[in-house]
Amino acid sequence: MAKQSMTYAASGVDIDAGDKMVSMIRRHMTRTYGPRVIEQHGGFAGLFRLDYNEKLFARNYKDPVLVACTDGVGTKVKLAAEMGLYDTVGIDLVAMSVNDLIVGGAEPLFFLDYLAVNDLDPQQATDMVKGVSDGCVQAGCALLGGETAEMPDVYSKGEFDMAGFAVGVVEKGKVIDGSRVERGDIILGLSSSGIHSNGYSLVRAVVTKKKLKLDKVYDELEEDRPLGRVLLEPTRIYAKPILSVLNRYVRKRVVTAMAHITGGGLVGNLNRVLPKGADAKIERKAWTIPPVFRFLAKHGNIEQQEIDRVFNQGVGYCVVVKPAFAASVMGQLEDAGETVYWLGSIVKGTGKVKIV
C-alpha cells in the first residue's frame, strides 16, 4: 500500500490561495503610490526615495529625521469578525500608527501591514487590504508592502489579527515635542469619529453581558445604523489637516505640542506632552460627547472616571497652540473639514490634565 504524501495544504496552509490574494490586492497598493515609490516586479522589499535636490519632490529636507510607529487594532478585530465586515479595520490600522507619527510633526511616508489568519480567504483578506489602502490614501502615504500569515494552529476558525508599521520624516529643527509649551497656550481638540480603536474589550463585555444586539438600531445612539456598524466606525485620520497647518508656517512655530487621544483618554495622553511646571485645564462643557459613549456608560453602568480613562469621549486629537494663533489654526482645521473644540488652556501646575 502506497504511503500517503503530506502537503502544506493538508496541514492548513494554502499557497495557491496566498498567490491569488497577492494578485487581488495589487491594485489597492498601487493606488497609494506617489513618485517616491520605486516599483519593482517580484521584489522582496519595498523601495522608497527620500527627498533630495530634484524638482520631482515638493520638499527637500536639510536634516531629515525618520520617525517610525507600530500598532494594531486590538480586540476590535473580534467585533469585525463577528459582524463579517472586514473593509474598515484596515483604516483603523493605518490611523493608529499615523496619528501617533504626526504628533511630532512628521510627514507619513509609507506603511506596511501584517495580517494573520486561521484560514486564508482571498476575498476576505483583500477586503482587509482595501481598508488599509483607503487609510493610506486618507493619510497621504504609500502602502509599500506587507505580509499575510496563515496559522491554523495559532488562530481559531474565523479569527484574525493585524498589525501595522508607519514610517515618516520630519526636519530635525521642526520636531514638536512639547518642550515649548507655555502657560497661556490654547488647547484645541479635534473630534473623533467614534470609539476609534481603544477600549473594545470593555465594549464587547458590555455588549455580551447586557445582551445587546449588534444588528439592532437603538434610538439612544441617534443614528439609523445598527449598533454593530456604529461600533465599527473607523478611526479618524488627522494627517492631512494637521500637516496643512504645520506647512503653512514656514518660520513661526505656532504649534507647541500635539497628542493623539487613545487608550487613557485625554487625561492619560495629553499629559505626555506637558512640561513639569504646567497643567492642561480643560472645560468639560467645551465639547459634545457623542451618544455612543453615553450609551456604553448607561448600559455598562460605567463610572465617569472609568469612561474618561478608557475612551476618547469624542476628542481624538489635541493641538496646543500659541494664543495669538489659536483662532487662525482653529479656522484652518475647520476649513479642512474637522470639527474643532476650544478645550481650554495651559496653566501653572505639575504636568497633569484636569477636566473641570
pTM value is 0.91
Q: Higher-confidence residue: 21 or 273?
A: 273
CB 99 within 8 A of CB 235: yes
**What one-character-per-residue DSSP string does 196-246 give?**
TTS-HHHHHHHHHHTT--TTPPPGGGTSSS-HHHHHTPPPP--HHHHHHHH
> pLDDT class for 261, splitting at 50, 70, 90?
very high
Instruction: Return d(Cα 135, Cα 193) in angstroms, integer.
Output: 14
> pLDDT class for 16, splitting at 50, 70, 90?
low
Instruction: Return d(Cα 48, Cα 346) in angstroms, integer.
Output: 40
Residue 93 pLDDT exceeds 90: yes
Q: Higher-confidence residue: 53 or 168?
A: 168
CB 30 within 8 A of CB 145: no
Q: 293-345 pLDDT, tens per residue?
A: 999 999 999 999 999 999 999 999 999 999 999 999 999 999 999 999 999 99
Average pLDDT, the chain: 91
Specify the DSSP class assigned to residue 32. T
Measuring CA to CA, which residue among 259, 248, 238, 250 is closest to residue 332?
248
Instruction: Return d(Cα 50, Cα 82) in angstroms, integer.
Output: 41
For range 190-202, the mean pLDDT: 97
Specify the DSSP class assigned to residue 313. T
Alpha helical stretches, state H, the chain: 15-30, 76-83, 89-101, 122-139, 200-209, 227-231, 239-248, 265-269, 291-300, 304-310, 326-335
- Place domain 15-174 in its CATH homologous superfamily: PurM-like, N-terminal domain (3.30.1330.10)
**Could you tell me the residue ranges of all domains in the chain?**
15-174, 186-355
Between strands 186-191 and 315-321, the pairing is antiparallel
Residue 212 pLDDT exceeds 60: yes
> pLDDT class for 52, splitting at 50, 70, 90?
low
Domain 186-355: give its CATH code: 3.90.650.10
Q: What is the pLDDT of residue 4?
A: 67
